[in-house]
Amino acid sequence: MSAELPSTSTALMTDRYELTMLETALADGTANRHCLFEVFTRRLPPGRRYGVLAGTGRVLEALAEFRFGDDELAFLSRNGVVDRATIDHLAAFRFTGSITGYAEGETFFPHSPVMVVEGTFAEAVILETVILSILNYDSAVASAASRMTGAAVGRPCLEMGSRRAHEQAAVAAARAAVVAGFAGTSNLEAGRRYGLATIGTAAHSYILLHDDEATAFAAQVATQGVGTTLLVDTYDVPQGVINAVAAAGTGLGAVRIDSGDLTSLAIEVRAQLDELGATGTQIVVSSDLDEYSIAALAVAPVDSYGVGTSVVTGSGAPTCGMVYKLVAREGRDGVLAPVAKASTRKTSTGGRKNAGRRVDQAGRALEEVLVTGPDQAVATWAPEHTELRPLHVPLVAGGAIDTRWTGTSGVQLAVERHRASRGELPRGARRLSAGDPALPTVTLRLER
């Protein structure tokens, strides 16, 4: 008897209370009220000057698989999660609403409305957890990765953190790091799924497998060619460099240093390589790098950085604190009305919002602009002047997903958007020292 394949549905990536709210709303007749939910963060992690939105494409991919099939419905019924009427409702579930938001890769700031989900309460409320779980993690990784690529000042950063994350999170992290400027990943599934460049040659275990380092290097070059990267710090770095050049010749692609005082070693290895005639051989460094150690290596002759744990854990900020809040709902009179919570330190602002970024004539961003006012005016808002760049783009319309934002093409769009978005921020945005958000957030209220 063959094992049954697991469901590909994302519908149970949901907190139970979303379905019990749905059950109650179906029972009291409010489930079909038109609603607006907004995703935003109240504050950036301490010391951060901007955030990077990532995961939008993955949200849309998850939405396409958000279906309650026989397995999901049987689980809910067997465990008494919701009643029969709710089970029947979920069996026919399809999201028919709309989603707008910041383009993936865009920088964001406190209270930026990075995603707006519009539809009935019944279809929008149950998307909360899957949307937040994706955006919070992916954006945390991308925000950290952007600080790292900024600190690298044009030198490539390579994502190597798979073994420090959950196996599915590792794929998401690789994708998010590339959105924020990383040049490649060691994760093959991320490469397959999203068309990312993959990197990697050998670890210390390969060197230790052989009777001596020279034999290991010779075998690696024989199979992978002289363009390979040889790991030279298993035993003695200077001798490792001698063995590496002896095995591959002066055309050796690169050497990697994975331990020790990386700045001093890089300087010494560069001088040694040049003396041996391997002037074109590059130096790759790894070993628990983060944005601060990358910045400290700016003076060293390093050609690229391999980053693991810090990037997949958000470099100390593993979530962005994004929330999913109801900001407007249809009342008994059929009119869409703003709603907001007033809890201490957890306030939200009611009503539909749009967003733009004010830039000067040189293309430098000056402020984040939240557009508020009458619902229809905000929904149809377009800036009257070119110095205000609109930030919201359509992602889902009438339940139909805009596939430009998904898959390999979606990643490439996000890479380009992040490059442009970070490029327009004030120069101080890339500082690693603690400071206020790089842009102030102001409100533009429309009158009609």
For 399-437, what is each residue's pLDDT tens digit? 999 999 999 999 999 999 999 999 999 989 999 998 899
For residue 98, how many other CB atoms are within 10 A of its CB? 17
- Beta-strand runs (E) in 42-138: 51-52, 98-102, 107-108, 115-120
User: Where do the domains of the chain lie?
Assistant: 16-142+317-445
Which H/E stretch holds residue 22? Answer: helix 16-28
For 183-199, what is each residue's pLDDT tens digit? 999 999 999 999 999 99
Residue 346: per-residue pLDDT: 72
User: Binning pLDDT at 50, 70 and 90, where does residue 341 land?
Assistant: confident
Q: Does residue 355 register a pLDDT over 90?
A: yes
The set of long-range contacts for 280-284, using a CB threshold of 8 Å and a minimum separation of 24, is 280/250, 280/251, 281/245, 281/250, 281/251, 281/252, 281/253, 281/254, 281/255, 282/253, 282/254, 282/255, 283/254, 283/255, 283/256, 283/257, 284/158, 284/229, 284/254, 284/255, 284/256, 284/257
User: Binning pLDDT at 50, 70 and 90, where does residue 91 land?
Assistant: very high
Residue 1: per-residue pLDDT: 38
For 376-394, what is each residue's pLDDT tens digit? 999 999 998 889 999 999 9
Least Cα distance to 431 among 79, 138, 49 occurs for 49
Compute the average pLDDT of residues 308-323: 96
Q: Does residue 343 register a pLDDT over 80?
A: no
Compute the average pLDDT of residues 100-125: 98
- Side-chain-side CA neighbours of residue 422 (13 Å): 28
For 49-59, what is each residue's pLDDT tens digit? 999 999 999 99
Residue 6: per-residue pLDDT: 59
User: Binning pLDDT at 50, 70 and 90, where does residue 96 land?
Assistant: very high
Q: Residue type for 447, please?
A: E
* Coil, strand or helix at 246: helix
- The encoded tokens of residue 306 equal 């391999």
* Overall fold of domain 16-142+317-445: nicotinate phosphoribosyltransferase (3.20.140)
Residue 3: per-residue pLDDT: 47
Q: Does residue 337 register a pLDDT over 90?
A: yes
Cα 218 from Cα 159, distance rounded (Å): 27
User: Binning pLDDT at 50, 70 and 90, where does residue 348 land?
Assistant: confident
User: Binning pLDDT at 50, 70 and 90, where does residue 349 land?
Assistant: confident
For 60-74, what is each residue's pLDDT tens digit? 999 999 999 999 999
Compute the average pLDDT of residues 145-168: 97
Cα 437 from Cα 223, distance rounded (Å): 50
Compute the average pLDDT of residues 153-165: 96
Residue 366: per-residue pLDDT: 97
Give the residue, 2 or 48, on which the prediction is more confident.
48
Q: What is the mean pLDDT of the chain?
A: 96
Cα 288 from Cα 284, distance rounded (Å): 13
Residue 2: per-residue pLDDT: 43
Least Cα distance to 183 among 197, 194, 172, 173 occurs for 197
Cα 375 from Cα 446, distance rounded (Å): 10
